[in-house]
């Protein structure tokens, strides 16, 4: 049986700058630190170099499906085909060949010899694992049984059977004897759950792993932060997701004030890899909203190709724009809509509709003078509000005192109302 630390495909052996790694060749340090998100067309090769194994394949297939550019699609499919040949997932190989449909020439067709050889090795490997596990279960050796189920999980994961992999990883829970074993089980369960899109399981196993604080090393903690961030992102809990991602330190590469983002030493390293994102955030905090929103527009196409972020791009963009509109109006008693439209690089009519929606949703306390195109803030009269609260408190106190005096006098004169009993 293979040693536990040598098992391929588990996230215990992942590189420090990733949430998890699924096996495959390393893209090289020079490629890993190249900025790949920009206003220009996505550099598929540089993007793919950030990942390995099944994760790399999944992202390439997603790009091929969503990009809408034939040249980019074929490049992504070619790289996915090459990556699959490094592993043992013959089913995924067949699916990619169908997507390529002969457009990449004779070198990228179904490789029957390779597939048959992989399937034969897989059958022999499976029989061997079954025999070993049966022997361990007969001898009731808990550690060996745990490793046997873990090897089965790795086997099924390598062959794309994620449901079976998850079952076997979770079965190791009954045979864990140390906190480190529990964390190992949780990380494997998180890995497969992310692949299957079961983010409820991700959140559950992150919580379970965090209960074993004594056995958590810095790299594992950062992996759990990232996994929790993904779970919150899929649940549309964007603030909680942002907090988790901001907590990610240099071990994996890393109220939203400037100090939490721009002045965050750990997160600043990430921003340096993507200059457009750094400039975007700086523009937002310095109130250069037109430039900020322009950066966002340039990045949108590539962000829509992210396998986790694509479903949330429109919502996040809307929330960022609304936040900018709200921040712009906060310091002023009145705002000229023509000047505000110029600041946001839009027209007055469109801006007015956006402000109307924010006022209706009670996100901006203001009213619009449509004739003169001026927004007037409705600042609460704090002096009057204080007097009203004082008067209300006084009236409540007076009422309570009168009730207490009435009750005291009733008791003093023994004036009790007794209910009659019916027999």
Residues 134, 69: Cα–Cα separation, whole Å: 51
Nearest CA to 300 out of 278, 277, 283, 284 is that of: 277
Facing residues of 202 across strands?
none
DSSP string spanning 374-411?
EEEE----HHHHHHHHHHHHHHHHHHHHHHHHHHHHHH
> What pLDDT digit, counting tens, does each position of 198-230 carry?
999 999 999 999 988 887 888 899 899 999 999
Specify the pLDDT at position 150. 94
Specify the pLDDT at position 280. 87
- Residues 238, 317: contact at Cβ < 8 Å? no
Specify the pLDDT at position 365. 87
Specify the pLDDT at position 274. 76
Counting Cβ atoms within 10 Å, is residue 74 exposed (0-12), middle (13-18) or buried (19+)?
middle
Specify the pLDDT at position 11. 37
> What pLDDT digit, counting tens, does each position of 86-107 carry?
999 999 999 999 999 999 999 9
**pTM of the model as a whole:** 0.73
Specify the pLDDT at position 36. 41
Specify the pLDDT at position 140. 86
Sheet architecture: strand order including 366-369:
334-336, 374-377, 366-369
Nearest CA to 63 out of 360, 384, 307, 419 is that of: 307
Query: How far from chain centre, in Å, is Cα 251?
Result: 18
Specify the pLDDT at position 250. 54
Q: Is the dihedral of CA 316, 321, 327, 333 positive or negative?
A: negative
Q: What is the mean pLDDT of the chain?
A: 83
- Residues 159, 195: contact at Cβ < 8 Å? no
> Who contacts 355 (Cβ-Cβ below 8 Å, separation ≥6)?
325, 329, 337, 364, 366, 368, 375
> What pLDDT digit, counting tens, does each position of 273-315 carry?
778 888 888 888 888 888 899 989 988 888 899 999 999 999 9
> Who contacts 408 (Cβ-Cβ below 8 Å, separation ≥6)?
none
Question: What parts of the chain have a pLDDT lower than 70?
Answer: 1-40, 249-267, 379-381, 417-423
> What pLDDT digit, counting tens, does each position of 22-34 carry?
333 344 443 333 3
């Amino acid at each position: 049986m293979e040693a536990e630390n040598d098992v391929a495909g588990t996230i215990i052996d992942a590189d420090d700058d990733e949430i998890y790694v699924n096996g495959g060749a390393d893209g090289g340090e020079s490629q890993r630190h190249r900025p790949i998100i920009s206003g220009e067309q996505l550099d598929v090769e540089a993007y793919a170099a950030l990942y390995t194994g099944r994760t790399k394949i999944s992202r390439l297939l997603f790009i091929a499906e969503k990009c809408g550019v034939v040249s980019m699609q074929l490049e992504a499919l070619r790289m996915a085909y090459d990556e699959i040949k490094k592993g043992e997932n013959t089913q995924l190989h067949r699916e990619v060949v169908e997507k390529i449909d002969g457009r990449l020439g004779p070198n990228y067709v179904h490789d029957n010899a390779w597939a048959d050889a992989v399937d034969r090795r897989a059958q022999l490997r499976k029989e061997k694992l079954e025999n070993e596990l049966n022997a361990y279960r007969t001898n009731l050796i808990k550690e060996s049984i745990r490793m046997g189920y873990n090897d089965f999980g790795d086997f099924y994961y390598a062959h794309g059977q994620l449901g079976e992999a998850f079952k076997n990883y979770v079965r190791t829970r009954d045979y864990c004897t140390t906190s480190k074993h529990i964390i190992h089980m949780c990380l494997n369960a998180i890995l497969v759950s992310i692949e299957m899109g079961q983010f409820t399981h991700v959140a559950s196993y992150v919580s379970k792993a965090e209960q074993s604080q004594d056995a958590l090393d810095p790299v594992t903690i950062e992996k759990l932060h990232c996994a929790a961030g993904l779970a919150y992102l899929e649940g549309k809990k964007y603030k909680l997701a942002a907090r988790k991602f901001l907590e990610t330190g240099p071990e994996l590469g890393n109220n939203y004030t400037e100090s939490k983002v721009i002045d965050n030493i750990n997160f600043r390293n990430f921003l340096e890899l993507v200059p457009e994102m750094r400039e975007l955030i700086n523009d937002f905090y310095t109130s250069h909203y037109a430039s900020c929103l322009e950066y966002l527009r340039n990045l949108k196409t590539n962000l829509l190709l992210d396998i986790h972020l694509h479903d949330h791009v429109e919502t996040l963009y809307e929330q960022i724009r609304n936040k900018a509109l709200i921040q712009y109006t906060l310091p002023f008693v009145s705002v000229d809509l023509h000047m505000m439209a110029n600041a946001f690089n839009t027209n007055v009519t469109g801006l007015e509709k956006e402000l109307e929606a924010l006022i209706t949703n009670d996100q901006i306390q203001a009213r619009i003078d449509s004739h003169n195109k001026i927004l007037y803030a409705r600042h609460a009269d704090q002096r009057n509000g204080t007097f009203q609260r004082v008067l209300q408190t006084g009236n409540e106190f007076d009422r309570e005192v009168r009730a207490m005096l009435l009750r005291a006098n009733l008791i003093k004169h023994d004036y009790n109302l007794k209910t009659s009993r019916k027999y």
